[in-house]
Structure 1
Amino acid sequence: MMRFLQNIFTRYEKISAPVKASVWFTVCGIIQRGISLFSTPIFTRLLTPEQYGVFSVYNSWYDIISIFATLNIFYGAYNNAMTKFQDDRNRITSSMQGLTTILTVILFIVYTIASDFWNGILNLSSLYVYAMFAEMLFLPAYNFWAASERYDYKYKRLVIMTVVIAAGSPLLGIIAVINTSYKAQARILSYVFVQVCVGLAFYIYNLYKGKSFFNKKYWKYALILNIPLLPHYLSSTVLNQADRIMINNMIGSGEAAIYSVAYSVASIMTIVTTAIKNTFTPFMYKSLKNQSYGKLRTTSNLLIVLVGGFTLIAMVMGPEVIYFFASSAYHDAIWVIPPVACAVFFKFLYPMFSTVEFYYEKTGFILAASCAGAIINIILNYYFINLYGYYAAGYTTLACYILYSTGHFLFQKFIFRKYGNTGNNLFDIKFIILFSVLLLLLMVGITFLYSYTWPRYIILLTLGIILVVKRSAIMRLLSAMKGSE
């Protein structure tokens, strides 16, 4: 046993920094998403569906409003700035953090001028909105720091902070909910308290290291790059969150909670896909910079297959996972899992395309696909939720992510052929289409198997065997990341 462990440790020491980072970023994702998911069965039993629905709607509105408060600068613009201005990273971080602070304060002033009006639109009390602004003020500081750590493949401190945040929020939440009759408020405020404490610490840290709150050059760079992306980020978030908000307003908070649980369960695969995406993004930036197109094409195909495998597992295990994560009041959520799981696959797919648009700073091309997807999602939700209830929201989300991915592929293809110094396609579109169609057909088949246990278990066993047999291919996938050093 000791020799076995020593062999593993020896092999681990020999692998490259990007591969180590990929492993540990995956671990971070598992810790963060895993603790959140495994606390769900506790909260779905401590809270009524209506109370759980309030927490779900709060998070949905936060994701939307924070786009206006921060412009999501810690995503595209920050990664681009770290690539272009490598020698001034600390000042970039602190000054862009200063920009998000000013934007949040301006938005808060707008809210306070007509708070009753905005509370009616949000269907939230002032207490929740104040908590939301406190979170938006400080949490971006942590996001800047985490993005910088990922860019440099530094994982040790990120793992520690992931554990602190992931464990602190549900633990404090459980204690707060148990010890008060104001359970929805306790869940939200305990969650916000942890986010604010961590964000405040990194806010001070980033400002101390960068010693710059305002920098005209970097503020202008971030605004020019990110303001055109506002509709894109808003549209992306609408695709993620509008379902719950519309279900809450059109049917009720209880149904919004059931849908939210189903969405969370179906999104279990994001434990791995988010970590893969976080590692793949800097790899892709550096591959585009170094014109390592062949390796990028091969790696993206392998990633698609890997993510598709996790999508199948999430769909096959849907009923069992719902039984574990929630009480019988949430049982009908199983029928939402297959389309939402497939939607998560396409949600992973489209950033692979949009990264090309970010890299060449042709962000205007992103708007058409993003806005079209969000508008279609709202229209389809309004029509089909009225007809078929909250079940329809899963299928409208899937349809919109398919359209979303298609639009981003077409735009990146045009951009890459114009600016990439090559007439070839960056991605293997034939393979992507065939694999996606196969996944959609399997989704339909698995839905009909939800009333039959053994066939689904046979499928699950088959997938497990394939993963074991193809483990070498998975290792080659990780090795392909070496090109990003």
Structure 2
Amino acid sequence: MDLNTNIKSVVAVTLLTAIISPVLAYILVCAVDQKGYARIVGYAGINILVGIIIFVMNIKRGKHLYNKEFWRYAFGFNVPLLAYYLSQVIFNQSDRIMISHITGTSDAAMYGVAYNLATILTFILNAINGSYVPWLYGKIKDHKAEENKTISLILTVLMGLMILCVIWYAPEIIIVMAGKNYEAAIYVVAPVAMSLLLLFYCQFFINVEFYYEEKGMLVYGSVGAALLNVVLNAVLIPAFGFVAAGYTTFISYIVFALSNFYTMRLVLKKKKLPDNMYNYKALLIIFILFMLSGFLGVILYAHLIARVMITLIVFMLLVLNRNKFIEALEKIKGR
């Protein structure tokens, strides 16, 4: 398969879905009385339609609807992961449900706006991972996994910088998106957006677990982190309000990332393989710097000019080092 074509297809489908879904949901919400159902149909309808189209295309390309060996493998691989996928739903929805029951629907709406903004880059994360995984698996197969050290760090920096842009300019974005009535929601954006980089780390480790078809510990880790999120919400939301839910999400994703890090290393040890795919020390340093930068942005929320000046300085540094990022992306595309 031509990976360049594959990358473009993944990015195109992801972007179109990410753009069309909220637009359709907004149109339906404005057009009908059942606002909740309209929003569900808007988001789910597009995903279902895209899924059906991709399914039909794959069936036509494969020329066979049923292959016993493939079906058995697919069920054997995915059925044990149902608990993992369910835990992700809990991660995404439990905060708002619990806020609604504990402090009220207005706070839940406030949190929802901030959460949607903080996770707006999820589609980019998925597109990057969709293009990166075939490259990574090819390197593992060719016994060149150590080449991933540099690539993974550059991708992490790129993802981190995009997330920081959302964190640093959350006040302005939220006012444009939802108006000044939702201004209090800005303090939820930072911890939830930071969780997105932790999810990016999780994908690094989960990709290796999937390659070696080791899924058991992933399920335990994801369910445990989701339950921890629920427990922390029950304790902290009544005491500190809806903003606490952002930090419970952040803490839960730290646990989830550590769980997958530990599991991946166990898998490599079990397979008697070298643990040379990631520079763990550098990943940790990047995350600490990212976290400090994120909270610096929160401290500077009242000082737009300072935020803009710092952003321009960082942008100039990126331009000066642009060749390193371009080279890394070309390596992935050229696999």
Normalised to the residue count of structure 2, the TM-score between the two structures is 0.88
Q: CA deviation at 1:391?
A: 0.5
The residue correspondences of 1:68-83 to structure 2 (distance < 5 A) are none
Whole-angstrom CA distance in 2 between matches of 1:410 and 1:220:
29
1:444 to 295, 300, 319: 295
- Determine if the alignment matches structure 1 residue 474 to structure 2 residue 325: yes
SS at 1:268's partner residue?
Answer: coil
Q: CA deviation at 1:346?
A: 0.6
Report the equivalent of 2:91. Answer: 239
- Determine if the alignment matches structure 1 residue 396 to structure 2 residue 231: no
Report the equivalent of 1:226. Answer: 78
Q: CA deviation at 1:22?
A: 4.1
Report the equivalent of 2:154. Answer: 302
Unaligned runs of 5+ in 2: none
- Determine if the alignment matches structure 1 residue 461 to structure 2 residue 312: yes
Whole-angstrom CA distance in 1 between matches of 2:243 and 2:57:
45
CA contact (8 A) 2:236 2:245 kept: yes
Whole-angstrom CA distance in 2 between matches of 1:463 and 1:426:
28
Whole-angstrom CA distance in 2 between matches of 1:364 and 1:316:
38
- Determine if the alignment matches structure 1 residue 337 to structure 2 residue 189: yes
Report the equivalent of 1:433. Answer: 284
Whole-angstrom CA distance in 2 between matches of 1:225 and 1:203:
18
CA contact (8 A) 1:416 1:426 kept: no
Q: After TM superposition, what 4+ stretches of structure 1 lie above 6 angstroms from structure 2? A: none
Q: CA deviation at 1:478?
A: 0.9
Larger radius of gyration: 1
CA contact (8 A) 2:136 2:148 kept: yes
Structure 1's 304 and 361: CA in aligned 2 closer, same or farther, altered over 3 A? same
Report the equivalent of 1:356. Answer: 208
CA contact (8 A) 1:247 1:255 kept: yes
Structure 1's 201 and 437: CA in aligned 2 closer, same or farther, altered over 3 A? closer
Whole-angstrom CA distance in 2 between matches of 1:23 and 1:352:
21
SS at 1:450's partner residue?
Answer: coil
Report the equivalent of 2:40. Answer: 188
Whole-angstrom CA distance in 2 between matches of 1:170 and 1:440:
29
Structure 1's 358 and 318: CA in aligned 2 closer, same or farther, altered over 3 A? same
Deviates more, 1:388-397 or 1:440-449: 440-449
Aligned residues: 335
Q: CA deviation at 1:186?
A: 3.5
Pairwise CA RMSD = 2.7
1:436-473 residue CA offsets vs partner (Å, 9 max, x unmatched): 11222222222111122111112221222222222111
CA contact (8 A) 1:354 1:366 kept: yes
Identity, in percent, stands at 33
Q: CA deviation at 1:170?
A: 4.8
Whole-angstrom CA distance in 2 between matches of 1:194 and 1:379:
33
Whole-angstrom CA distance in 1 between matches of 2:67 and 2:51:
21
Whole-angstrom CA distance in 1 between matches of 2:144 and 2:14:
27
Report the equivalent of 2:218. Answer: 366
Whole-angstrom CA distance in 2 between matches of 1:421 and 1:316:
41
Q: CA deviation at 1:325?
A: 0.9
SS at 2:277's partner residue?
Answer: coil
Structure 1's 171 and 405: CA in aligned 2 closer, same or farther, altered over 3 A? closer
Whole-angstrom CA distance in 1 between matches of 2:182 and 2:57:
43
Which amino acid letter does the alignment assign opposite residue 340 of structure 1? Answer: V
1:148-204 residue CA offsets vs partner (Å, 9 max, x unmatched): xxxxxxxxxxxxxxxxxx2xx455545444444444444434555545555555555
2:168 to 316, 328, 333: 316
CA contact (8 A) 1:309 1:463 kept: no
Which amino acid letter does the alignment assign opposite residue 84 of structure 2? Answer: H
CA contact (8 A) 2:146 2:276 kept: no
Q: CA deviation at 1:398?
A: 0.8
Normalised to the residue count of structure 1, the TM-score between the two structures is 0.63
Which amino acid letter does the alignment assign opposite residue 110 of structure 2? Answer: I
Whole-angstrom CA distance in 1 between matches of 2:69 and 2:12:
36
CA contact (8 A) 1:287 1:483 kept: no
Whole-angstrom CA distance in 2 between matches of 1:204 and 1:347:
30
CA contact (8 A) 1:316 1:459 kept: no
Q: CA deviation at 1:377?
A: 1.0
Report the equivalent of 1:411. Answer: 263
SS at 2:261's partner residue?
Answer: helix
Whole-angstrom CA distance in 1 between matches of 2:89 and 2:140:
27
Q: CA deviation at 1:238?
A: 2.3
Q: CA deviation at 1:227?
A: 2.9
SS at 1:451's partner residue?
Answer: coil
SS at 2:120's partner residue?
Answer: helix
Whole-angstrom CA distance in 2 between matches of 1:21 and 1:212:
22
1:29-75 residue CA offsets vs partner (Å, 9 max, x unmatched): 44443x3xxxxxxxxxxxxxxxxxxxxxxxxxxxxxxxxxxxxxxxx
Structure 1's 394 and 173: CA in aligned 2 closer, same or farther, altered over 3 A? closer
Whole-angstrom CA distance in 2 between matches of 1:196 and 1:364:
28
Which amino acid letter does the alignment assign opposite residue 290 of structure 1? Answer: D
